[in-house]
Amino acid sequence: MSEQEMNSYRFTSGQEPSDEMLAQIMKEVTDEAKARNAEATAAYFANMRRQAEVVKATWSERIKAASNG
């Protein structure tokens, strides 16, 4: 199926997509969902690491203060 055929299809056209079109649409949606999930997961863990560093620094200061009396 050509890219032009894929780009010309609209769900609102009143026509059902062919099996080939539907498979291509679903593949593109799946690829996009996987990419977004990977980005969200990376951002989540980066944020978690930043927060852990803040907590670590806070406790380090508290321990130093307690040790020095």
**How far is it, in rounded angstroms, from Cα 1 to Cα 28?**
14
The reported pLDDT for the residue numbered 13 is 65
The reported pLDDT for the residue numbered 37 is 98
Positive or negative: CA dihedral 17, 18, 23, 24: negative
Per-residue pLDDT of the chain (69 residues; tens, 9 = 90+): 667 776 676 666 677 888 888 899 899 999 999 999 999 999 999 999 999 999 999 999 999 999 986
pTM over 0.75: no
The reported pLDDT for the residue numbered 1 is 63
**How far is it, in rounded angstroms, from Cα 53 to Cα 47?**
10
**Spatial CA neighbour of 20 closest among 32, 33, 9:** 9
**Spatial CA neighbour of 28 closest among 48, 45, 46, 7:** 7
